[in-house]
Amino acid sequence: MNVPTMADMMAQGKQPEVLFWVGAAGSYDDRAKKITRAFVKILHQANVDFAVLGVEESSTGDAAKRAGNEFLFQMQAMMNIEVLNGYEVKKIVTCDPHSFNTFKNEYPSLGGKYEVYHHTQFIQNLISEGRLKIDDTNLKGKRVTFHDPCYLGRANEVYESPRDLIRRLGVNLTEMKRSRETALCCGAGGAQMFKDAEKGDKEVNVLRTEDALKTNPQIIATGCPYCNTMMTDGIKFKEREDNVIVRDIAELIAEANNL
């Protein structure tokens, strides 16, 4: 896959239109890597001039911050800002709502001011600029439900862009009872992803999967690599992997467009 890095670009004296921030999950996690690749295919199809940081990318520090380690967060933030500002980055797109939130809201006061897009917003723009079309025949009629990531939805009030894209797939979107502002967390946020849950009588991702299953979906659409893992685990726990699949919106678009 042809994925240019900022260093390559710089060597050629070029400045890409946008930096794609891949994020730790998108770089290392086997499931999330598929989302990363799907998004890159979409960028290629739309002829977007982008680059990644590659080995120069580091953790945004989001998980450290939510765990309470403000020191580590700010160290990471300042290091990243140094790199980003060094490359004169103006526009960032990411598939990870946590990175999105941190760049958009928490980096500016530390000196990192960028135009930040979640990939669903970015793709939506590509469509409205006429650079991308979604084929609405391949997934036609599929029963889909969408799980709002807390850090995209409640945290930043982005509810429409993912839904707009899903509707363009020609599928049949059914909302869960808890959706948008009242959506239930998948259970990964606040650094929970990296530890066992406290004692309780259920895992959050199982409860959320039950919410989703009540809509009788064939596909659970997600917009965050962590949500994706949580919902996939939930489906396995419920032993429904035979008839329900969990897909990021980027993956669905790549599939619809036969990429």
Contacts (CB under 8 A) with other proteins, residues 187-216: 187-204, 206-208
Q: Does 71 bind other proteins (CB under 8 A)?
A: yes
Q: Does 259 bind other proteins (CB under 8 A)?
A: no
Q: Which of residues 151-170 bind other proteins (CB under 8 A)?
A: 151, 154-157
Span of 8-16, 106-114, 119-127, 212-220 interacting with other proteins by CB under 8 A: 106-114
Q: Rounded distance, CA 73 to CA 85, Å?
A: 18
Q: How far is the CB of 190 from other proteins (least distance, A)?
A: 3
Q: How far is the CB of 259 from other proteins (least distance, A)?
A: 15
Q: Does 11 bind other proteins (CB under 8 A)?
A: no
**Candidate residues 76, 145, 222, 229; the one interacting with other proteins per rule CB under 8 A:** 76
Span of 8-16, 33-41, 166-174, 234-242 interacting with other proteins by CB under 8 A: 33-41
# chain residues binding other proteins, by CB under 8 A: 73
Q: How far is the CB of 116 from other proteins (least distance, A)?
A: 12
**Candidate residues 105, 115, 140, 141; the one interacting with other proteins per rule CB under 8 A:** 105
Q: Does 65 bind other proteins (CB under 8 A)?
A: yes
Q: Which is nearer to other proteins, 171 or 188 (CB)?
A: 188
Q: Does 44 bind other proteins (CB under 8 A)?
A: no
Q: Which is nearer to other proteins, 73 or 169 (CB)?
A: 73
Q: What are phi and psi of 17, to 5 degrees?
A: -65, -40
Q: Does 247 bind other proteins (CB under 8 A)?
A: no
Q: Which of residues 168-187 bind other proteins (CB under 8 A)?
A: 181-182, 184-185, 187
Q: Please provide the size of the chain in residues.
A: 259
Q: Does 27 bind other proteins (CB under 8 A)?
A: yes
142 CA to centre of own chain: 22
- The two three-digit tokens of residue 157, written as one number: 């009030």
User: What residues contact 32, with CB distance under 8 A and at least 6 apart?
Assistant: 23, 25, 26, 225, 228, 229
Q: Does 49 bind other proteins (CB under 8 A)?
A: no
Span of 72-80, 217-225, 236-244, 251-259 interacting with other proteins by CB under 8 A: 72-80
